[in-house]
Structures are given as structure tokens and as C-alpha cells.
Amino acid sequence: MTYAANNIFAKIIRGEAPCAKVYEDAHALAFMDIMPTTEGHTLVIPKEPAESLFDLSASGAQHLIVTTQKVAQAVKKAFDAPGIMLMQLNGAAAGQSVFHIHFHIIPRRAGLDITIHGRTMADRKVLEKHASQIRALL
């Protein structure tokens, strides 16, 4: 598969689609998942155009995981989560639905059932509130 420059994450990077931004630097962007599985569900993407882990440069992969770690620490604190689940899916067969590499940061608690992807759109005001909680801890 060839990287699709008009996927939703590429549009978010270019500022053509909205997001509840949590963090941004020259190489990566973190924002709230529009269909969260839990409160605080955050996505981290590289700005490098790469469909999967296998298409991402070594330096891009390094920056992506460092950024994911930094954001995950803030998500954990912001939502007082005893656990954090990181998911990174490669290919449709693995459940990837947006073909731009990304990490899911999902706050977890014992007994909390979740699915890989949320089923309903979250209210943008709620997402902005959650993004603000996380940003305050970065």
C-alpha cells in the first residue's frame, strides 16, 4: 500500500482537520482520540508520512516512542490511572483503520472492559477539557 497523503491524520498535521491538541513539536503531534475507548484516550503520531512501523525511519521511530512516553506519563497523572495501555497496530489485519502510524495511549483501571476502537464520537468540548488536563502536566 502507498501512503495516502489525504488520510485524516495527514490532514490534522497540515491543519486541514481539527483536533484537540495535547502536544506538538517539529516531529510529532499528540491529540485526543475523537472516538475514545476511555476518558483520556490520546493518540501520538509522527509528522513523517509513514503508514506503519515498517515504513517509519529509525529516527522517526525513536522520536515517536520518546514522545509517546512523555505524553503517556502526563495522561497517567491527568486521569489518575493505575495503568496505561499502549497500542500500535500495523495493517488492516491487525485492526489499523487510519493508515498513518500512531500510538494509542489508553488509561486503564481494573475491571474496565474496552474495545480497540471507540464506537461513538466524543463531544469536542469534553475532548478539549481532557487535552487541557494533559497539557497542564507536560
Pick the range with the lowest mean pLDDT from 6-20, 22-36, 89-103, 118-132: 118-132
Mean pLDDT over residues 102-120, rounded?
82
Cα 104 to Cα 90: distance, rounded to the nearest angstrom: 12
DSSP code, position 120: S
Residue-wise pLDDT tens digits, 72-96 = 999 999 999 999 999 999 999 999 9
Q: CA 135, CA 132: separation in Å to the nearest integer? A: 5
The DSSP output letter for 21 is E
Are the beta carbons of 54 and 90 closer than 8 angstroms?
Answer: yes
Residue type, 64: L
Q: How is the chain split among helix, strand and coil, in percent rounded to 5?
A: 30, 20, 50
Catalytic residues: 102
Give residue limits of the domains in the chain. 8-135
Q: Please give the Cα distance from 133 to 63 (Å, whole number).
A: 23
Q: Write down the pLDDT at residue 115.
A: 64
pLDDT of residue 60: 98
CATH 3.30.428.10 applies to domain 8-135: yes
**pLDDT given for residue 110 in this prediction:** 85
Exposed e or buried b per residue across 29-41, where buried means at least 16 C-beta atoms within 10 angstroms of its C-beta: bbbbbbebbbbbb
Residue 112 has pLDDT above 90, yes or no: no
Give the pLDDT confidence of 15-73 residue by residue, as tens digits. 999 999 999 999 999 999 999 999 999 999 999 999 999 999 999 999 999 999 999 99
- Whether 114 shows a pLDDT value over 90: the answer reads no
